[in-house]
A and B are shown apart, each in its own frame.
Chain A
Amino acid sequence: MKKRFLTSILVTALAVSMAGCGSNSESSNKQEGSSDSEPYTVTMVLQGTQQPDEERIEEKINEVLEKELNARLDIVVLPWASAGQQLQLMLAGDEKIDCFYTSATNATQYMHSGQIVDMSELIDEYGTNLKDIYGEDILKGNSINGFLYGVPNQIERGSIPSIFMRKDIVEKYNIDISAIKNPEDLEAIFETVKAGEPDMTMLYSINEGDTPASRLFGGDTLSDSNRLGVLMDQENDTTITNYFASDWYKQTTSMLYDWYQKGYISKDAGTNTENWRTVCKAGNLFSLFFAYHPGTPVEFKSSTGYDFEIVSFRDYPIKNCQTYNGIVFSIAQNSENPEKTMEVLDYIYGSSEIMNLLNWGEEGVDYVLEDAENGIINYPEGITTDNVGYSLNLGWELPNQFIGYKWSGSDPKLWEKMEDFNSSAKSSKAVGFYFDDTEYESQIAALANIVKQYSGTLDSGSADPEIYLPEFLDALEAAGINDVIAAKQEQFDQWLAESK
């Protein structure tokens, strides 16, 4: 008797709590028509540092949006590290969220679990600015089986693997940087500098993210952070191969291990958790591998206080698989008015006024124009990073930074140079391709663990590839990397055939 009672409570509760999520989305579409009178508030979720005066800026933005589109904007900034999880939860509940910043990897996941909407028709109808900026082809590139999961932000397209060396040290030791053609050529330089600066770390290294090996890699990872199957020669070859089994990987990790043993790379590289900028600022770092684009020299100078000599290992940038889907905006299934959301989003792509408000705050309060002609700004008198009310300063995360102001110290022609840089880029064979891996989730989950076990130590140079690499490759094979690569190749070939 009691048992049955309990079961029935639980079942009712279950039905109530679970069914809610489904019905929610259906009721949403009904409200479209009524939005004429009351302005619709678009909730936009970003990632970064919470700004104290967010509401003041939202008011400013709303003055414009209410007049132009009968809409309002509500920004929600989630903290860096927890944003992924918080966003996941917000999309699972029936919370107010309209559009958000994400990447293809996550967006496709949301697509499969029905948490975002297909944007293709919305763009056709409301995407005027977007079509102007990108053209239809690139916009439609971010879709899987006709489902458009996100629109790209305006950022640099492609990058060039380069070595960044502290200028003062280069000058002190009279280093001839024109002699550097390949990464291997750095060895002699490290030797000279190390002899003079025994306490200094020659090359920055860490075990995930900005590892020397991944920063040097010139191929196309196909948007896979675990690099399970990549294009080694992205401009010419369409064969997907095992990155970790390549000669390049073996040579590079051997080189790094050699440097590690010679003390050029920190003995703590495998456990390092400090960003290179922090290390560099402390005055203890000579060089690092990083991706070059026209914005980097200024950013590096302002975040570390040092000038850098830059030598690139390639003459031109290459657009790869991630170029247009690494940073995108998607529209949530929770949105009560996807049309209005699309309209507002598209409007921001074309409005320098709103871009500046979003990124830099209010003119005269949060910033002043330093060089009106070139659109360069700085803090007003008495305002610093510590007490500024609003200064998001994350242009790349917002729809279109290219139409906004630039911070003091930037190249006056930064955006023009960026456009040149982008147009000089050659293309990988896989631009626009995205591997839909839903069928292989359990293999990939197992493979991800293996990659994290070995690649961090190898990529950072802190393990001997002679010993670890064969073990690594065996483990990958046992966990089925070849199946994943074959599946990727199959989808890629099909995609190539269709897109021609």
Chain B
Amino acid sequence: MKNKVQRRAYKQHLTLYFMMFPGLLYLLINNYIPMTGIIIAFKKLNFAKGILNSPWVGLDHFKFLFSSKDAWIITRNTLFYNLTFILVNMVLGIAIAIIISEVRSKVMKKIYQSAILLPFLMSMVILSYIVYALLSSENGLINNAVLKALHLESIQWYQEPKYWPFILVIANSWKGVGYGCLIYIASLVGIDPSFYEAARLDGATKWQEITKITLPCLVPTIVTILLLSIGRIFYSDFGLFYQVPMNSGVLFSKTNVIDTYVYRALIERGNISMSSAAGVYQSVVGFSIVMFSNWIVRKFDKDRALF
């Protein structure tokens, strides 16, 4: 009996499975089959023997991640920056999205929407040139123009770790806010306008409209973005942490993250197994955190969870 129902359910949804086929096939080829290569992290790679026949070495390749006191610094930095980035980008993204949607002039609206997109086009390396133009000790605009005009001492930006959490957060927001912002704008467009009309009839203030209608309607989008970004919490943008601080050693205490550590550790040697091990470590941690968060979200609202 149950079987029959199930079979009918499959039949009904057959079209849907067909629709999904190309996408699923692509993921199989692009992601799942290569994913088996994760075993490289546990093997002493020998291409002459083939990957499958290379000898196992257990967790040896993971050791370098934990074998110095840098392990703590890079983990702390990676987590701290990612959490800050998620938070700052979310707050700024929502705020800007709401402001833009409130602007009445169509021309201005278009200009603002275009502007927040621009930073996508700038690569991190070029951004690092810009940051350098601002901060360099001898020719930097901040030292030469701003601080001089205020009669303040010039600052050796690339020698002072304490400023870098701020610089990196600003640089990241400059480049990354647009992403969330555009999605929020798209979601705002989707909100049923009759809600606002009703609110206005009831004499609600702008602030009430935002907190009582707009934000609650954005919650599903926020949760999705949040869950998606949590999965990558152990990864970081290499360019931001390597190029923007100009690889300055003095700043490592505030700029070294897992990705830059792995890069610096392996640059001379190019050991595939070790870099693969680092990737596995990052993925496993991200996976655990995201499963946990999804479980929590599911407890509250089944529909909002990712799966």
Contacts and interface: CB of A to CB of B under 8 A. Distances in A.
Interface of A: 9-10, 13-15, 17-23, 25, 84-85, 88, 91-92, 105-106, 109, 112-115, 207-208, 225-226, 266-268, 270-271, 273, 333, 441-450, 452-457, 462-463, 475, 478-480
Given A442-B67, A443-B67, A10 B33 contact: yes
Interface stretch (B40-48, B168-176, B284-292, B298-306): B40-48
Given A225-B268, A268-B136, A448-B264, A22 B68 contact: no
13 contacts: A9-B28, A17-B36, A18-B50, A113-B47, A267-B138, A273-B246, A441-B271, A442-B61, A444-B269, A447-B68, A448-B268, A449-B256, A475-B68
Interface of B: 28, 32-34, 36-37, 45-53, 60-61, 63-64, 67-70, 132, 136-139, 156, 158-159, 246-250, 252, 256, 261, 264-272, 274
Contacts of A267: 137-138, 156
B236 to A, nearest CB: 16
B266 A445 contact: yes
Given A88-B272, A266-B138, A271-B136, A21 B47 contact: yes
B249 A455 contact: yes
Contacts of B264: 448-449, 452
Given A114-B46, A449-B264, 6 more contacts: A113-B45, A114-B48, A271-B132, A273-B246, A333-B48, A478-B69
Nearest to B260: A449
Given A270-B158, A448-B268, A456 B47 contact: no
B189 to A, nearest CB: 39
Contact of B159 (A106, A226, A462): A462
Given A450-B70, A479-B68, A441 B269 contact: yes
Contacts of B159: 270, 457, 462-463
A91 B52 CA distance: 17
Nearest to B60: A442
A331 B250 CA distance: 41
Contacts of A91: 47
9 closest A-B pairs by CB: A22-B50, A114-B48, A445-B265, A442-B64, A445-B64, A271-B246, A267-B137, A442-B63, A14-B36
Contacts of B50: 18-23
Given A19-B52, A106-B270, A450 B68 contact: yes
Contacts of A92: 47, 272
B3 to A, nearest CB: 13
Nearest to A105: B268
A101 B223 CA distance: 52
A447 B50 CA distance: 30
A232 to B, nearest CB: 22
B248 A84 contact: no
Nearest to A273: B246
Given A271-B132, A333-B47, A446-B70, A105 B36 contact: no
Given A109-B269, A267-B156, A478 B247 contact: no
A114 B136 CA distance: 46
A447 to B, nearest CB: 8
Contacts of A19: 50, 52
Nearest to B74: A449
B269 A457 contact: no
A322 to B, nearest CB: 14
A476 to B, nearest CB: 10
A200 to B, nearest CB: 12
A462 B32 CA distance: 48
A124 to B, nearest CB: 21
A207 B33 CA distance: 42
A342 to B, nearest CB: 18
A88 B271 CA distance: 10
Given A10-B36, A114-B47, A452-B264, A445 B274 contact: yes
A17 B270 contact: no
Contacts of B136: 268, 271
A285 B61 CA distance: 45
A441 to B, nearest CB: 6
Nearest to A11: B36
B248 A271 contact: yes
A103 B32 CA distance: 35
A60 B68 CA distance: 55
A207 B68 contact: no
Nearest to A334: B47
B48 A13 contact: no
Nearest to B139: A268
A112 B32 CA distance: 28
Contacts of A106: 270
Contacts of B252: 453
A181 to B, nearest CB: 31
Contact of B268 (A17, A226, A271, A443): A226
Contacts of A85: 270
Contacts of B272: 88, 92, 113
B60 A454 contact: no
Contacts of A444: 269
B265 to A, nearest CB: 4
Contacts of A452: 247, 249, 264
Contacts of A84: 270
B305 to A, nearest CB: 22
Contacts of B33: 10, 13-14, 17
Contacts of A443: 64, 67
A121 to B, nearest CB: 16
